[in-house]
Amino acid sequence: MSAVAAEGSYTYGTLINGVWVSEGRAFATYNPACPDQQVGHYRESSIAEVAAVMKAASTAQRAWARVPGLERQGIVQAFLAKLRGETERIARAITLEMGKPLAEARGEVGYSLREAEFMASEAARPLGHLLPSLRSNMRNMSMRKPRGVIAAITPWNYPLLTPMRKIAPALTFGNSIVLKPSEFTPATACIVADLARGILPDGLLGIVLGQAAVGQALVSHPLVDAVTFTGSVATGRSIYKLAAQSLAEVSLELGGKNPIVIHDTDDLDACLNEAVTGALVNAGQRCTAISRVLVRRGLAADVEAGLAERMRAVVVGNGFDERTRIGPLAMKAQLEKVNAMVENGVAQGARICAGGERLAPAGFASGYFMAPTLLCGVTPGMTVAREEIFGPVLSVLPYETIDEALDMVNDVQFGLSASLFSNDQRVVHRFIDHANAGMLHINNQTATDPNMPFIGMKDSGVGACSVGQGSANFYTSESAVYLRYGS
């Protein structure tokens, strides 16, 4: 406990043209494992400060766009190398402010940097094509140019991964970026921006801090060329409306209600281990968390018993304790919301087969800990089967045929990730063709690779994917070039 208490005390405000300014209203963050411990002391950005960050970002972007692409790539890579050298400091900030186990926070740093390095490598790839012309002596090209100033707003669940998913491609493709991290976990993004000073030109990466009003001021600023947002559907809708006023390009990455379909397997233990991992990483506070287990009825009893046993065995505790597999939920409101969802499930007829209660590990009685919870007897119409829970809760729903399972996969508002366990090729291809999700996994939970498109369908997302080659469609705009040569 003393090692934890000795750390933290992050103090940041608005980053304007490479200088931290701390004048606005004060706000604080707290360690979710022991909420009496204040972790961060911050200053909210005023409207005037948001405008100053935007002006600096606009000026910096014009110069950055003239830097040759491969030179920009080298500068971005130097920035990423600096972050890699500070892995431990960044990981500890994530655990302290957000709560996830330190090993997972270190994993988040490693994975974020793999993804960012992949995006930096995109600087060397073609950004256009040669096209045939109707006319002789004419060379036609399509080329992509930097979009301009990117406004980015991120949630609290991945304090490094989500900001880096926006910062790395924005810079690589010649843009500047102004980021508003979540008011619950700003330390990590502030550390990142601080480490960028002296490597990136001043003004290229700006930080504004605060809640919805600051996000609104950022999105509606006239110098914004494109808006990238990750967070809840409700906020995504309101940002989409705001951005429409200036016709800025928009990319939204929203929630999920991700199923795993267990149809047949020759290794049920391995399959259940994957399901539990997919459900409990980051205490289930993951847009791609598995939250529904759809199981062929003949396997249901074994699957329910195996999941319950595994979930009861999970060690829940302080993220700085090496034995901890899942940490606290990130904030009190999240704990209350998850508990209310479980109670609602029971009221609608579900049975609690594991967990279902708040936990108070020794020494951390006031932390926001929740037991991994398995709900059985869930039917497709129940709220727990339809709405995002964003906590360590799994619901089991039996089915008879793969077509019935596919209807259940698709009959929700979301379409982010969907997983299938089967060795039957007809079932596998039926699933690939008809499961409506941006990311499909066969015999794999929902773990992604750093070079693959990260994208959602339906209410899970709008616009180009954030990772992968398609992200150039958001971070650049296309121009058609007609070039007459000779007479």
- Residues forming contacts to ligand NAD in the complex (CB under 6 A) are 153-157, 162, 180, 182-183, 211-212, 215-216, 219, 230-232, 235, 238-239, 253-256, 287, 388, 390, 416, 456, 460-461
Residue type present at position 230: T
Closest approach, Cβ 156 to ligand NAD, in A, equals: 5
Nearer to ligand NAD by C-beta: 73 or 285? Answer: 285
Residue 181 near residue 154, CB atoms below 8 Å: yes
Residue 47 near residue 76, CB atoms below 8 Å: no
Nearer to ligand NAD by C-beta: 26 or 360? Answer: 26
Closest approach, Cβ 92 to ligand NAD, in A, equals: 21
Closest approach, Cβ 399 to ligand NAD, in A, equals: 25
Nearer to ligand NAD by C-beta: 93 or 287? Answer: 287
Which residues in 172-309 belong to E strands, given as ranges? 176-180, 205-207, 226-230, 249-253, 258-262, 290-296
Nearer to ligand NAD by C-beta: 130 or 340? Answer: 340
SS3 345: helix
Residue 162 near residue 110, CB atoms below 8 Å: no
How far is the C-alpha of 165 from the C-alpha of 231, rounded, in Å?
Answer: 13
Closest approach, Cβ 363 to ligand NAD, in A, equals: 28
Q: Identify the CA nearest to 287 among candidates 380, 404, 154, 178.
A: 154
Handedness of CA 419, 446, 153, 31 (dihedral sign): positive
SS3 53: helix
Closest approach, Cβ 415 to ligand NAD, in A, equals: 11
Nearer to ligand NAD by C-beta: 180 or 310? Answer: 180
Tell me the two tokens of residue 381: 């119409």
How far is the C-alpha of 44 from the C-alpha of 183, rounded, in Å?
Answer: 9
Report the residue closest to ligand NAD, judged by CB. Answer: 215
Nearer to ligand NAD by C-beta: 182 or 422? Answer: 182
Query: Backbone dihedral region of 316: left (phi > 0), alpha (psi from -120 to 50 degrees) or beta?
Result: beta
Burial of 27 (0-12, 13-18, 19+ CB in 10 A): middle
Residue 416 near residue 460, CB atoms below 8 Å: yes
- Catalytic residues, which ones? 253, 287
Closest approach, Cβ 284 to ligand NAD, in A, equals: 11
